[in-house]
Amino acid sequence: MPVPVKICGLTRPEAVAAAVAGGAAFVGFVFYPRSPRAVMPEVAGQLAAAVPKGVTKVGLFVDADDATIARVLAAVPLDLLQLHGHETPERVAAIRARFGVPVMKVLPVAEPGDVEAADRYAPAVDRLMFDSRPPRRPDALPGGNGLPFDWRLMAGRRWPVPWMLAGGLTPENVAEAVRLTGAEAVDVSSGVEDAPGVKNVGKIAAFLAAARAA
């Protein structure tokens, strides 16, 4: 069975079309102003209108307040909220209850204890995502930095909710990442770009093909 793929950080119609045509199970829109992949809610709403039923529309938020999330949801019919900041399990549960939309919490990973932190979040989420811990520099983003972590940290791990692997994935390494981690789904952003925020439709197609063959 093919590994479901999320193409994140979509900003242009041609990239959305390539993701859908290639069989992506998830498409992601970023609502974090500091990101080069950020889109305004109105733009994301237009992009989301081209996404067929059955493809999950994901909104990425970083420590967003309720007003911000509500403003986005008023413009974009999101199916999943991706929380990519320092949200506590309590905050995650509150967002899930407040908006009635499934939630995925992203956990940054650099060492075994980071993976074990997922146990605290599992009761409060519908999905988990494991991404590389951001580099220690002022301009580092919470995600989309193109850096993998030690995939062996994920070997044999299981949780009561589905989980997704992110961080430095490319068409060239996604099959190996799935083999080493047993990932149930994968997420890519920078690995299918020509520059931050500029998706390459050929790379999107190649990644989706590589994931199907994983």
Among the listed residues 65, 66, 131, 194, the single catalytic one is: 131
In whole angstroms, give the CA distance from residue 67 to residue 90. Answer: 18
Among the listed residues 8, 119, 126, 150, the single catalytic one is: 8
| Residue 45 burial by Cβ neighbours in a 10 Å radius (0-12, 13-18, 19+) | middle
Q: How many CB atoms lie within 10 A of CB 97?
A: 10
Q: Is 131 a catalytic residue?
A: yes
Q: Answer whether 187's CB lies under 8 Å from 205's CB.
A: no
SS3 (DSSP) at 15: helix
The residues that are catalytic are: 8, 131
